[in-house]
Amino acid sequence: MNSAGPCHGTEGSREIGKVETAGTGSPAIGSVGDHATFSWVRGRALTQDVWLLVSAAFVIIATVSFTIFAVVRWPSGPQGQYIWFYVLVALAPPIAGTALYLTDRTIRIALVVVAALCCGGGALAWVEVDRTGEVDVEMEIQDAQPVEDSGGRIKVKMARPAPGDVRDKLRLKLTISDEKSDTPTCVGRTTARITADTPGITPNMWEVGAESTVDFDLGGRRGAVQFTVWVTPDTGCSMLLTQAHGTLHND
């Protein structure tokens, strides 16, 4: 009697098997018949690496591009109001650049996210200043000078601001100086009364010294505004209104 059973190691035998491993970057080994195959699965890892590189590069390019745009279209006003823009756009490129050279994927992702937040925060800070921050406005001094001790009137006109520079308030700084620098100064003994000629401006009048800064609410006006400055020097003094500096703001 003949018995049949599995044959091992014979020429005609075939053993079919397959071994697999799973996970990011893991190998897979398989055999079919007498032929063995080997492959390395890195699709997901490569995709993540590419997206990290692209994201970091995008943050750097976006930051540099917006900085160039901001410089070209730079608003006026005190530089201190741009401090957050300066800080955040300065941090974004080096943080994103660091992510290009590290090997730990978690740290790289975190750095790219932080760099993107810095870029976006810097852009928002600049846009906020551009929309609502302080901007300089042209002020024109009219009428004849100097003003003698009998007093005199000087007109000061604020030019119509550009559409993007319209604000709620005007900060007006006046500087009244001595006509002659070789005589004892009369600055401390000179006063001025500033009156808004344009309707709707509040307060309507200020009594100030020779070197003073006052605020006016423009009442929603978007055009030119005019003021009358009545200068009253002390006896024997002759004075000049040397500066009228205007700053538009919303504070």
- Phi, psi angle pair for 74, to nearest 5°: -65, 125
In a domain? residue 233 = yes
Helix, strand, coil percentages, rounded to 5, for the chain = 35, 30, 35
Pair (197, 120) in one structural domain = no
Residues 101, 42: Cα–Cα separation, whole Å: 20
First to last CA, the chain: 108
Q: Give the per-residue pLDDT at 15.
A: 47
| Per-10-residue mean pLDDT, the chain, length 251 | 46 47 48 48 58 90 92 77 91 92 88 94 88 87 87 92 88 92 87 93 92 92 92 91 92 78
**95 in a structural domain:** yes
Domain boundary among 72, 107, 132: 132
CA–CA dist 225, 246 (Å, integer): 11
pLDDT of residue 229: 94
Contact 231, 237 (CB under 8 A): no
- CATH number, position 177: 2.60.120
Angle subtended at Cα 115 by Cα 111 and Cα 116, rounded to the nearest 5 degrees: 120
**The domain containing residue 52 runs over which residues?**
43-132
String of DSSP letters for 149-192: TT-EEEEEEEPPPPGGG--SEEEEEEEEEES-TTS---GGG-EE
User: Are 128 and 152 within one domain?
Assistant: no
Task: Give pLDDT, residue 42.
Answer: 47
- What pLDDT was estimated at residue 171? 94
Given this model, what pLDDT does residue 34 score? Answer: 53
Q: Which helix (H) or strand (E) holds 115?
A: helix 105-132
Of the candidates 237, 224, 246, 225, the one whose C-alpha atom is nearest the C-alpha of residue 175 is 246
Q: In the listed set 72, 97, 132, which residue is the last one of a domain according to the structure?
A: 132
Per the domain annotation, does 196 fall within a domain? Answer: yes
Predicted pLDDT at 3: 45
Are 73 and 169 part of one and the same domain?
no
CA distance 239 to 184: 12
- pTM, two decimals, is 0.63
- Overall domain count for the chain: 2
- At 164 the pLDDT is 81
> Pick from 82, 97, 132: which residue ends a domain?
132
Looking at the DSSP bridge assignments, the partners of residue 231 are 152, 192
